[in-house]
Amino acid sequence: MTSPPTHSAFSIRRRPYTTMIVLAAVALVLASLSPASSAFSQERRSAKPTIVLVHGAWADASNWSKVIPRLQGDGYTVVAPANPLRSLSGDAAYLRTFLESLRGPIVLVGHSYGGAVITNAATGNPNVKALVYVNAFAPDEGESGTALAGPDSALSVDPTTVFDFVPATLPPTATTDLYLKKSTVFTSFATGLSAQDKALVAATQRPATLGALNEPSGAPAWKQIPSWYLIGTQDLIIPPGAERAMAQRAGSTVTEYDAGHLGLLSAPRTVTQGIERAARAVQ
């Protein structure tokens, strides 16, 4: 009669099976670790840039209120810092410091006077991968916003007919605050918006100083950083012809869209798409 297998014999028969389990577990661990660094590198390479939105004169960051949710909904980190509107060099210095607090790639977007600010603030910052101008100034060194708007701008008239001055003392100085008259907002600045929204723009505007709008620009970032330009074909503040000239000089990728100066409010989907086009190009 054959004796039943001993515990030792049973263990011997199980050893190959146990070894297979251990080897399989080790293989799984190695498989999970080995591609990790590769996957992490791929994730870093394809990480979406931070979108920094810079408003212009007679506005604040809320002008981006219809663009920000769309960008965030598409997975972008978005920040819209306050533009001081005190002087071009000072505003650019502030934005430059703000940009230095961010990590990773940046797509820097400027509207109107904000375009002049980003042109100066991004110079020399390796994290800024793209500039996007939305109905904006893209000055070369030595140029001012007022000069770039040209004679066809609705603001290139007797300043007392389009601005209110604070203080009201005339003649104004470089530190005098300029507010748009309500009539200017309704007929030129906020075209394409409802009467209710125009009234809101007029009531909540932040002034720029006379000096900021006339200060010569420094070395332009668009000479080293690729740029995109959204041209509002109905813009009465920075006429389309002036925008096209600046975009061509900067070598920008151009999108023309049917909007006035505040296209970021009247056509936010188109503006968002233009920003994301730039962001995808530099990912």
Q: Residue 133: is its pLDDT beyond 70? A: yes
Question: How many angstroms from the chain centroid is the CA of residue 227?
Answer: 11
pLDDT in tens, 147-158: 999 999 999 999
DSSP string spanning 128-173? Answer: EEEEEEES---PPTT--HHHHH-TTSTTSS-GGGTEEEES--SS--
pLDDT of 46: 57
Q: pTM for this structure?
A: 0.85
pLDDT of 149: 97
Q: Residue 177: is its pLDDT beyond 70? A: yes
More confident of the two residues 57 and 19: 57
**CA nearest to 118, candidates 28, 7, 14, 250:** 250
Residue type, 148: L
Q: Whole-number mean pLDDT of the chain?
A: 89
All domains of the chain, ordered by start, with CATH?
50-281 (3.40.50.1820)
Range 232-246 average pLDDT:
98
Q: Residue 282: is its pLDDT beyond 70? A: yes
pLDDT in tens, 86-115: 999 999 999 999 999 999 999 999 999 999
Q: Residue 32: is its pLDDT beyond 90? A: no
pLDDT of 179: 98
Q: Report percent pLDDT > 90 for the chain.
A: 83
pLDDT of 201: 98
Q: Residue 7: is its pLDDT beyond 80? A: no
More confident of the two residues 119 and 13: 119
Residue type, 198: K
- Distance in angstroms (rounded) separating the CA atoms of residues 72 and 109: 15
Listed in sequence order, the residues at least 6 apart from 1 whose beta carbon sits closer than 8 Å to its beta carbon are none
> Measured between alpha carbons, how far is residue 77 from residues 46, 160, 276 in Å?
14, 41, 12
Q: Report percent pLDDT > 70 for the chain.
A: 84
pLDDT in tens, 47-75: 899 999 999 999 999 999 999 999 999 99
Torsion sign across C-alpha atoms 216, 218, 223, 226: negative
Listed in sequence order, the residues at least 6 apart from 71 whose beta carbon sits closer than 8 Å to its beta carbon are 51, 78, 272, 275, 276
Task: Tell me whether strands 177-180 and 208-209 are parallel, antiparallel or unpaired.
Answer: antiparallel
Q: Residue 22: is its pLDDT beyond 60? A: no
pLDDT of 97: 98
Q: Residue 204: is its pLDDT beyond 70? A: yes
